[in-house]
Structure 1
Amino acid sequence: MQQSEIRQPARARQANSFLSPDSAQSASPCLPLCRPSTPPQTRRFASPRPVGRMQQSGIRQSSRAFQTRKSASRNACNLRLGPACPAPLGGFNKTEIKRFYFCNAPSIPYLAGNSGKPDRGTISTSHVRPAAACTTACHSRRTPQPATPFTVAAASSSAAPLAACTHSTGAASLMIKKLVPLLLLFAFAGLATAQDDAAGDASGGTGDIVMFVFDGDAPLAGARLIIDGQEVSETGDDGGLFTSLTSGRHKVVVQFKNEKIVDLDLLTAEGEQIQIIVNRREGQKAEVDIESTGAGPVLVQEGESADDAATKRGLLEGIIKAGAAGPVVGDARVTVLGLGRAVRTNENGVFQIELPPGNYSLKVSHADYDTQTIDNLRVIPGKAVTANITMSSEGIQLADYVVTADYIEGSIASELSLQRESTQVISVIGAEQISRTGDSDAAEALQRVSGLTLEQGKYVVVRGQPFRYTLTQFNGLPLPSPDPIIQAIPLDLFPDTILSNIQVQKSYSVDQPGNFGGGLIGLHTRSVPDEDFFELKVSTGGNSRSTLDEGLTYDGSEDDYLGDDAGDRALPSAIPGSEDALFNLSTAERQAIGRSFNDIVLFEEEDDLPPDVGFEAVGGKSFPTEHGTFGFVATGSYSHKFRNEKELERTFLSGTEPSIESNETRTDREVQISGLLGLSGKWDSHELISNTFFIRDSQDRAQFSTGFNIQSGASENQSYLLEFQKRELFLTQLIGEHEFEYANFDWRVQTANTDRDRPDRRTYSYDRAFGSSAPFTFSIAENYTRNFNVVEEDINSAAADLEIPLQRWINSETVELSLTGGFDIDDRERDSQTRRFTFRPQAGQVDLTLPNVEQIINDGTIDDDADLVVFREVSGGNDVYTADVSTEGLYLGMEGRYSEWLQVVGGLRRTNADYSVVTGNGINGGFDESFTLPALSITGYLSDSMQVRAAFGETVSYPRIVELAEALFFDPDTGEVFIGNADLEPTEITSYDLRWEWYPTALETVTAGIFYKDLTNTIEEQFIPVGGGNFRTTFTNGESGEIYGLEVGTRLGLDRLHKLGVPRDGIYEQLAKMYVQADIAITDSEVDLGSGFGAATNRKRPLTGQADRVYNLQLGYDGATHDLTLILNHVGERLDRGGAGGLPDIYQEPTTFIDLTYSLAIPDILPVIGDLPFIGEGQLKLKGRNLLNAEEEYRQGSDLQRLTLFGRTYSASLKWNFN
């Protein structure tokens, strides 16, 4: 879990501006009590912070959140005592100094919660209203314990402000008079502490208490402090008091008149400094916050030996509720900080934990509520201590204070916070949401995002624009593609295990690369945790068409279970390095090389395909030191499964009857292995992060097809395919974040490599005359082909962002400005090589009716004279190509805010792209072009929970590498042949967005938006007639295109129905544990192909892949131990491929998928073994996918063109949490 700031209320924003001590007196009535030697910087991003936990790459957070996690904690808290500061206040050392700003009204310092890490504090800001009190406090603990920020139940002063906050002598005098009691209080506290320190042991062992008492929003005067039955002090007009007391156990009572406000059992250690804030609430239990400088052991009471105290354990118990009168909170995690012990509340919200005597801090966290940290809980030997805790789901914001809370990485609340605070139109899906929907990789998860659809199960279409218009980044840096042709990033490569969240930026900002049109997909990995953890998960499952059913297979390699080939499919070492070298050999030499090929091609039928299996391990640890905090996070996963699929495919050349039909049955064996290692070091105002990621994803396919081909001799055929492909990605990133006095500087570098190895793709077929009953014979026309393809791409990237807050120079309380600039450089090299070989039996020399191809083609028939079977290479010169791509970008931006209701972010980016491709035949292609890309985003804040965004941007989308060379290319995956076009121009896109957003709570949202995009020089497929009714594909720029749509989404708790009159008792009580999440996207588009598309049936048509509507619906139940989520995904009709030669366009029919997930929390995962403190709770999860058994159906006009059957999928997993 990670720290961040909860968004501050609108009234608090004006307090964010920092005024230096020198300018404060002349420009502001707010005077610093202590002058820091280095003024804190308010960090306002006008560029993305690619690694910040609230500020991850690709998505820049709004300055409305005041500061990022780093800036809020480091810059504001990294203070040194200046010459204006006296001795430490209240007995605290330098790292515990509070820093205050006061206006000309009574104000009580706000004591922030513990920071969670040494030398990193928690910022809190109070700004009641203009001309009223403002207070800024920053606190950094000296005790290095793994605590986290917690909300403080304290109220600000509501004393009436003066008529004006002026610089007049009278006003200043009055202000000083009002500060005198507070100054005397802290001076006295500092003097008392100094005397205690000097006295040492002679003091008799004393501690100090500083207390403030409030009545609602106002200081409470006359509240009496009673210790051990004796009244020792009384609060003054400012609500504060100070006293010393001897170490030991004390009965502490705070009483006002005849009302007992607080009754505490307090145990103090020698030299301990305790701060207590009490908020009296009429008719309710008072809120109390206690903070201590240290947590020592419980002192031995009189009459009890140390040994007795050490052997007796105490019981800490309590009930956790959601609000004072709300329901109990089940399945909340209660962690004892410093021990690593944790328990979870039961369905009644009750927790119990036995602990040795001592002083402890508890952290209580739940995905649906703000995290609470409770300090100074004393466990008494042999006794029970009760700590009842109240949690809030809306962020606790008392009066005008900004309250900090835990930022749970990947939680639903963090998703909405990222979306809300961004300056752009974005959608976010986090790890918790991915887990709830049961998605196993990034591609599956993204189909839950409004307006997004999948193609081929791995490529993302954003807002109806083909995936060529989608850009993918990994922690803010670009990725290489393993695909030999289309160069898109297959998102099924990224398992859910490594992901913290996925952010989809739909509008453009200049701090991002401008080479996308639909959207930017930002994948963000897990970060180093604040709490140590380790999890193991095992899973199994199956598919209704696959598991324990018959399937196809063949004898592959002994390393197939590892997703690798042991060399059995490798290109024989005797093969020369080029086709020409092989051609120059003698016939006998060539035939000898043909015999060196592995000759095992026999299909086998597997009677019972085994179930799916999977293993995952995730862990992380932090190491606080005196020099900073260092840590790591690591993940590892393995999955193995078999899948059967059936597909019917038809090709129409004329009329309504198919000319070619194929019924395919295939079995895929899929293996995936991945690992992530993240390292982090944080010290002072600096942070370094290293990410190393590896994944291997392999697919081993055996496919059998039957069908007919009326076009080529009216034949029936049987076709066979054996294919293994392995995709690997390895990358290393180093990221730095640095904060200086006048600027903030971030940088990131990456080296990444991907390769796709598809060795020995084997195809052959048998045929006979159409309608004949004769046996099938080996097809000489099709031959026996064996293809080898290797694609490798390397990319080296670097980027940097500089941000300069201008607040110190503009001296304005209503206008805030930040200047940003940066650059990014990407250099990639790509090599693709395909070698194609055929084995052709000589007619009449071999019995072609033999059913096994190994009987026809073997070492005996591949003779030296080539009389029986001829071996040859048929590779083309363009089956080999190399490419170099270099993109560079510079940007300059500005972010401005006016008062509390308007924010403007804009700038310009200058980008250059240099593409170069050279084929094996020496044919060159490419371009070198530059573009200037503007962007502007305006956010208006209608209220503290409601806002409107408007965005404008211009971007480009470049052609794919192989589309630029005028050469024939063979697609090694599909077998299709296409030709490039050296005259292709990049597509230029102009985008407009308008979106309204409402966030009623931290877990709820309602959004509605419209968008419009204008495209110039769209890149489209063109079909060139080659005779016989056949066409060859090339690529040409269309004239223009446009796409527009509406997106509406919501996530609301069903407990809102209670406000409409639904009762809260009986079955309706469960509504408080339920939510509904839904979105709808309605999109339309049109592309004008122009006059250059003579064979196209329709000159005007929709964009390829654009669905007319996309619906998502989730209905969830969050119980104490049971979670249930029902998910629906509906994708409307979408264009698959444009028609040619008068044939209709091909459309994919609407599809609806329904999934269901259920999880059960298990309190003690291994109760049979006994009390194992290092094994915590577990989770059982059940998932069902495609419960409606939906199919993918494509139609060309009214005729069925393609149909794919997948079946239903089920899985079960069990996870252990090791504490």
Structure 2
Amino acid sequence: MRNKREKRGLLMLVLLLFGSFLALTARAQTGVICGTVTDAKFKEPLIGATVSIEGTTIGAITDIDGNFRIEKVQPGKYTLVASYVSYKTQTIKDVAVIAYQEAVVRIELSDADLQLQNVVVVAQRKLGTETAVLNTVRKSLPVVSGISAQQISKTQDSDAAEVLRRIPGITIVDDRFIVVRGLAQRYNNVWLNNATTPSSETDSRAFSFDVLPSSLVDNMMVYKSPSAELPADFSGGFVRLLTKNVPEGNTFNLSYQLGFNTNATFRDFQLTKGHAVDYLGFGVGKRTLPSNTPAHLNDVSTSDAATFTRRVNTGWDISHFTALPEQKLTFTMNRLFDLGDWRIGNITNVNYSTGYDYYEMKNNNYLSYDMTNDQSSYRYKYDDVQYKNTTKLGALFNWSFLNGNNKFEFRNFFNQRGTSSLSQRQGTDYYSEENIRKWESLYTGRTTYAGQLSGEHKWHDEADKLDWTVGYAYAAYKEPDRKVVKSMERKLDDELKYYVSDPTRYYQDLTDNSFSLGTNYEHIFSVSELFKPVLNAGVYGEYKDRTFEARRFLYNLLGSGYNRFAEWDYSSIFSDENISENRIYMKESTNKSDSYTSENLLGAAYVAARLNYGEKLNANIGVRMEYYQLKLDGYESDGIKAVHLDQSSTEFFPSLNVAYSLTDKQQVRVAYGRSVNRPEFREVVPYVYYDFALDANITGNVNLKNAYTNNVDVRYEFYPSTGETVTIGGFYKYFEDPIEQTYSEAGSGLQYTYHNADHARAFGVEVDIKKQLDFIGLKNLSLVFNGAYIHSKVYFAEGSFERDRAMQGQSPYLINTGLFYQLEDKGFSASVLYNRIGKRIETVGVPAQNPNDDIPDIYEMPRNALDLSFSKKVGKYVEIKGGIKDLLNSKIEYKQFLELTETSGAKREVEQLVRSYRPGVTVNLGVSVKF
């Protein structure tokens, strides 16, 4: 009996195991249904669309990229049902599923022709995809170019400045300033998240794009033709930069990257001793003047001056160490949840980076050419060495609140950048006929904050739309305790050594505050199926104020008993033992011109009408009114004569933008608009700032006038398929009173300032191509190419010494191109990117009556830049990225070209090298984890 029960039990166990095996086998022999759901008209991904197997509860929801995936589907044929709010439900029949394979389905949904009632749509169109950016470009009436977060992710660009180089007609100066269509940064305007951005630069009108990590960019759009709803103050381009604000579900992302630069990494490095907070970019606070510093050091006794000097006598000691690789650490958290009828999203990002740069530079400057001896006449001839450590700490804290036709956003961006640098200069100053050394120790701190609260509201079936933005931005630039030491070559015991002669210390504090408020209203009139005109109107207000203060100090070097000869390390000279009223103490050279305050008020209103004939013809005609007031209080460079500016004007700026669709995939555009280019605070104040790199002073010009531009654009656009575009465009610009930076001799040195030319013209052609190469058999490979040819000329009054030439900062050509290879199923991508700009004038020279006596313009020379990058997903959560930046390591060179006329009348060209250095090759390798 027992044996029978055991046999029966054994049989049941075998049957159970066999059944389980059959079940497992059946389950293993399944397939997958996957694919994408997009808008049929605009080809944009639809987020949150439902795809299900008809007659079952099995299905999936599309993600942020419109992708869906239904796993563990038994082999066979199925019917899919795809649905999305406000779209027609679509049925896809006979979807064949084969074991161990994926059935890929591409679904396009069309708008529903019905009125929706009591439906709450809690979703937001994704703007960071390549398709979304191309659709924005296609539907925009002003001429615009852009780049998406999706395309940015395929490169190794680390900040917004590097990203902008990929946009047609864009180049970057000094690794952070934008040049559009070859026009210098002062001709461009930048908004961050629909609000103005401040300039943290003391000597230029520019937003420093390197403060924004590329991983935080959702998209960047560069508008190149004026339109009534855009600010009138741009002639090159208006950059609208949006940070990410729509979370991709609930995720955490942590990434870490190492960068190895062939110039700097593992080099023996030297900087003046710093502080622990330097590692976070907050070293300014440790270097500022004490709170009880005398109002003017010359008003106290020499004994008290020596006591004060001893109190601030820090920062002379040199630290020697080995430079580590560049390091970047980023943490991002995305949260998405529902609260009643509201869908709430949050993106929180914290990013940190630190890295080292090292340059060896030839640094020369010239007087008029020596025709008698047929040789260049040097003003100076130097060899520079620079050590630099830059640390950035940033954060982004963005919220979105969605409820039906109402959307609110609260965006916050913060960046702190600290740079410690040590420069050593050696060579000959031909003006004084001395062999000299110059040494500069400098710490700079830049703080940038931008915050906006905005809303968007729709009603009457979206026939009416209102949006508004309130913004505040803060920028600070500080140079606490900049030390400059000049030494002269002298004999000591029959040996040539360097004798310290002119030590100085400098403190600078610049603070900008910007407040903005804007609102826009849109109403769509449904006159007929073919004619649905749109009325747009809006107002905008902006207030900026700047406070600038600087203190200058010289050293009295008196008495004896200490050694004034030194080899780059000056800590022994400026030791506490040598600080006394009989030896070394500081005196002040600050005057009233070293401080100024300024403010500007901008009030704008516009009205525009968008007229159409079906989808074939669209036109936008509008006018913008701007009231602008500039106030400035300061002093002439002598510190005696007060300068007070109070200028205001009210002006109107008309614009017309027309787009005509030749076919569903082709259209042409024509645009006209008038714009203005106003002087920046720093360009009008007569404050004099010494720039060590240029070995020259920089000052403003209170007599600068506004520059005005008439802009004309024509463009043809072809969209072969989703994500592809071919555009060819031309433009023409006429400038009245263009503003340019020039330089001239001032006493024993150079001085840079700003002037208005009489007028200028520029015209050019742009080409932009984004194309998959599968049509020639190269699957998974795509080409991006954009280039521009530009011709410009500045004209001067008859009888002037100055001769017609290209505009300052204008490149004659620009080339950006790249190949992108992507295997989505393998999680692998790679790219090759190339960039080159034509020879352009960095600084306008000094013309003379006899052209042979000219001090020629300084040109930035063309160079080839080649970048390689790759990324590979490992499993579900890990991605590895790497690349090589500036693989060719071409020289960065600045040159002068002088056209000489011999007594015989023959002409020849003389080339003079002004500056030259190599930036080094950087190899990056990083890993990110997303879960």
- Report what 2:368 is aligned to: 654
With over 3 angstroms needed to count, the CA separation of the structure-2 counterparts of 1:562 and 1:1021, relative to structure 1, is closer
Q: Which amino acid aligns with 1:907?
A: G
Match of 1:777 among 473, 498, 501: 498
- What is the rounded CA distance, in whole Å, between the counterparts of 1:1002 and 1:468 in structure 2? 36
With over 3 angstroms needed to count, the CA separation of the structure-2 counterparts of 1:830 and 1:752, relative to structure 1, is same
- What is the rounded CA distance, in whole Å, between the counterparts of 1:553 and 1:973 in structure 2? 17
- What is the rounded CA distance, in whole Å, between the counterparts of 1:889 and 1:524 in structure 2? 22
Poorly superposed stretches of 4+, deviation over 6 Å:
335-338, 340-345, 359-364, 372-378, 383-387, 396-401, 770-773
Confirm or deny that 1:1117 pairs with 2:854.
no
Q: Which amino acid aligns with 1:1186?
A: D
The structural deviation recorded for 1:426 is 0.8
* 2:225 match: secondary structure: coil
Match of 2:886 among 1168, 1182, 1186: 1186
- What is the rounded CA distance, in whole Å, between the counterparts of 1:362 and 1:773 in structure 2? 95
- What is the rounded CA distance, in whole Å, between the counterparts of 1:399 and 1:1056 in structure 2? 34
Superposed counterparts of 1:810-829, under 5 Å? 811-829=527-545
Deviations 1:476-519 (A, max 9, x none): 11011111232311111111121101111111111011011100
- Report what 1:23 is aligned to: none
Question: Which of these two proteins has the greater Rg computed from alpha carbons?
Answer: 1
Superposed counterparts of 1:76-95, under 5 Å? none
The structural deviation recorded for 1:1043 is 0.9
Match of 1:896 among 589, 602, 611: 611
Superposed counterparts of 1:586-625, under 5 Å? 586-606=301-321, 608-625=322-339
- What is the rounded CA distance, in whole Å, between the counterparts of 1:556 and 1:600 in structure 2? 8
Confirm or deny that 1:759 pairs with 2:480.
yes
With over 3 angstroms needed to count, the CA separation of the structure-2 counterparts of 1:1209 and 1:535, relative to structure 1, is same
Match of 1:1080 among 782, 787, 792: 787
Q: Which amino acid aligns with 1:951?
A: A
- What is the rounded CA distance, in whole Å, between the counterparts of 1:1159 and 1:387 in structure 2? 24
With over 3 angstroms needed to count, the CA separation of the structure-2 counterparts of 1:362 and 1:446, relative to structure 1, is farther
Percent of pairs with identical residues: 23
Q: Which amino acid aligns with 1:1180?
A: I
- What is the rounded CA distance, in whole Å, between the counterparts of 1:1105 and 1:952 in structure 2? 23
Is the contact between residue 490 and residue 496 of structure 2 (CA under 8 Å) also seen in structure 1?
no
Superposed counterparts of 1:991-1010, under 5 Å? 991-1010=711-730
- What is the rounded CA distance, in whole Å, between the counterparts of 1:729 and 1:542 in structure 2? 28
Q: Which amino acid aligns with 1:859?
A: D
Is the contact between residue 557 and residue 567 of structure 1 (CA under 8 Å) also seen in structure 2?
no
Is the contact between residue 37 and residue 62 of structure 2 (CA under 8 Å) also seen in structure 1?
no
- Report what 2:772 is aligned to: 1053
Superposed counterparts of 1:92-107, under 5 Å? none
Is the contact between residue 1157 and residue 1183 of structure 1 (CA under 8 Å) also seen in structure 2?
yes
- Report what 2:762 is aligned to: 1043
- What is the rounded CA distance, in whole Å, between the counterparts of 1:1008 and 1:426 in structure 2? 12
- Report what 1:702 is aligned to: 422
> TM-score, normalising length from structure 1?
0.65
The structural deviation recorded for 1:572 is 2.7
- What is the rounded CA distance, in whole Å, between the counterparts of 2:266 and 2:807 in structure 1? 41
Deviations 1:1174-1197 (A, max 9, x none): xx4221111101111111011112
- Report what 2:841 is aligned to: 1135
The structural deviation recorded for 1:361 is 11
Is the contact between residue 1147 and residue 1195 of structure 1 (CA under 8 Å) also seen in structure 2?
yes
Q: Which amino acid aligns with 1:651?
A: N
- Report what 1:144 is aligned to: none
* Structure with higher strand content: 2
Match of 1:676 among 385, 392, 396: 396
Aligned length: 846
Q: Which amino acid aligns with 2:573?
A: I
With over 3 angstroms needed to count, the CA separation of the structure-2 counterparts of 1:1115 and 1:384, relative to structure 1, is closer
- Please tell me the root mean square deviation across aligned C-alpha atoms, in Å: 3.6
Is the contact between residue 829 and residue 883 of structure 1 (CA under 8 Å) also seen in structure 2?
yes
Superposed counterparts of 1:88-127, under 5 Å? none
Confirm or deny that 1:909 pairs with 2:624.
yes
Confirm or deny that 1:8 pairs with 2:41.
yes
- Report what 2:467 is aligned to: 746
- Report what 1:430 is aligned to: 148
Is the contact between residue 766 and residue 776 of structure 1 (CA under 8 Å) also seen in structure 2?
no
Deviations 1:1129-1156 (A, max 9, x none): 0111111112215122111111110000
Q: Which amino acid aligns with 1:732?
A: G
- What is the rounded CA distance, in whole Å, between the counterparts of 1:391 and 1:814 in structure 2? 31
- Report what 2:189 is aligned to: 471
The structural deviation recorded for 1:409 is 4.0
- What is the rounded CA distance, in whole Å, between the counterparts of 1:7 and 1:785 in structure 2? 68
* 2:153 match: secondary structure: helix
Is the contact between residue 472 and residue 515 of structure 2 (CA under 8 Å) also seen in structure 1?
yes
Q: Which shifted more, 407-416 or 671-680?
A: 407-416
With over 3 angstroms needed to count, the CA separation of the structure-2 counterparts of 1:925 and 1:978, relative to structure 1, is farther
Confirm or deny that 1:148 pairs with 2:49.
yes
With over 3 angstroms needed to count, the CA separation of the structure-2 counterparts of 1:1009 and 1:399, relative to structure 1, is farther
The structural deviation recorded for 1:450 is 1.6
With over 3 angstroms needed to count, the CA separation of the structure-2 counterparts of 1:594 and 1:770, relative to structure 1, is closer
Deviations 1:436-481 (A, max 9, x none): 2211111111112221111111111111111110101001110111
Confirm or deny that 1:957 pairs with 2:671.
no
Is the contact between residue 1160 and residue 1181 of structure 1 (CA under 8 Å) also seen in structure 2?
yes
User: Mind listing any 5+ residue stretches in structure 2 that lack a counterpart?
Assistant: 1-35, 115-120, 370-375, 849-853, 898-910
Confirm or deny that 1:1034 pairs with 2:753.
yes
Q: Which shifted more, 546-555 or 1000-1009?
A: 546-555
Is the contact between residue 284 and residue 480 of structure 2 (CA under 8 Å) also seen in structure 1?
no
Is the contact between residue 471 and residue 521 of structure 1 (CA under 8 Å) also seen in structure 2?
yes
With over 3 angstroms needed to count, the CA separation of the structure-2 counterparts of 1:994 and 1:970, relative to structure 1, is same
Deviations 1:19-77 (A, max 9, x none): xxxxxxxxxxxxxxxxxxxxxxxxxxxxxxxxxxxxxxxxxxxxxx9xxx9xxxxxxxx
With over 3 angstroms needed to count, the CA separation of the structure-2 counterparts of 1:1074 and 1:680, relative to structure 1, is same
- What is the rounded CA distance, in whole Å, between the counterparts of 1:812 and 1:516 in structure 2? 37
* 2:648 match: secondary structure: strand
With over 3 angstroms needed to count, the CA separation of the structure-2 counterparts of 1:396 and 1:1148, relative to structure 1, is same
> TM-score, normalising length from structure 2?
0.85
User: Mind listing any 5+ residue stretches in structure 1 that lack a counterpart?
Assistant: 10-64, 70-112, 117-146, 153-263, 268-294, 299-315, 317-334, 346-350, 365-369, 1059-1070, 1164-1175
Is the contact between residue 947 and residue 996 of structure 1 (CA under 8 Å) also seen in structure 2?
yes
- What is the rounded CA distance, in whole Å, between the counterparts of 1:951 and 1:149 in structure 2? 42
With over 3 angstroms needed to count, the CA separation of the structure-2 counterparts of 1:266 and 1:1200, relative to structure 1, is same
Deviations 1:928-976 (A, max 9, x none): 1121000100000000010001100000010121333456555698664
- What is the rounded CA distance, in whole Å, between the counterparts of 2:182 and 2:248 in structure 1? 40
With over 3 angstroms needed to count, the CA separation of the structure-2 counterparts of 1:662 and 1:965, relative to structure 1, is same
The structural deviation recorded for 1:1108 is 1.1
- What is the rounded CA distance, in whole Å, between the counterparts of 1:891 and 1:400 in structure 2? 34
Deviations 1:1043-1100 (A, max 9, x none): 1101012111111115xxxxxxxxxxxx121111112100110112436975xxx432
- What is the rounded CA distance, in whole Å, between the counterparts of 1:1092 and 1:633 in structure 2? 61
Is the contact between residue 49 and residue 62 of structure 2 (CA under 8 Å) also seen in structure 1?
no
The structural deviation recorded for 1:889 is 0.5
Is the contact between residue 992 and residue 1012 of structure 1 (CA under 8 Å) also seen in structure 2?
yes
- What is the rounded CA distance, in whole Å, between the counterparts of 1:538 and 1:843 in structure 2? 55
Q: Which amino acid aligns with 2:130?
A: I
Deviations 1:852-901 (A, max 9, x none): 422222322221xx321241011221111111111111101000111231
Is the contact between residue 316 and residue 574 of structure 2 (CA under 8 Å) also seen in structure 1?
no
The structural deviation recorded for 1:1001 is 0.7
Deviations 1:663-704 (A, max 9, x none): 111121111111111111112321111001111111111222
With over 3 angstroms needed to count, the CA separation of the structure-2 counterparts of 1:841 and 1:687, relative to structure 1, is same
Q: Which amino acid aligns with 2:864?
A: T
Deviations 1:889-916 (A, max 9, x none): 1101000111231100010001011111
- What is the rounded CA distance, in whole Å, between the counterparts of 2:877 and 2:79 in structure 1? 22
- Report what 1:89 is aligned to: none
- What is the rounded CA distance, in whole Å, between the counterparts of 1:1053 and 1:426 in structure 2? 22
Deviations 1:593-628 (A, max 9, x none): 11111333123332x311121111223222234422
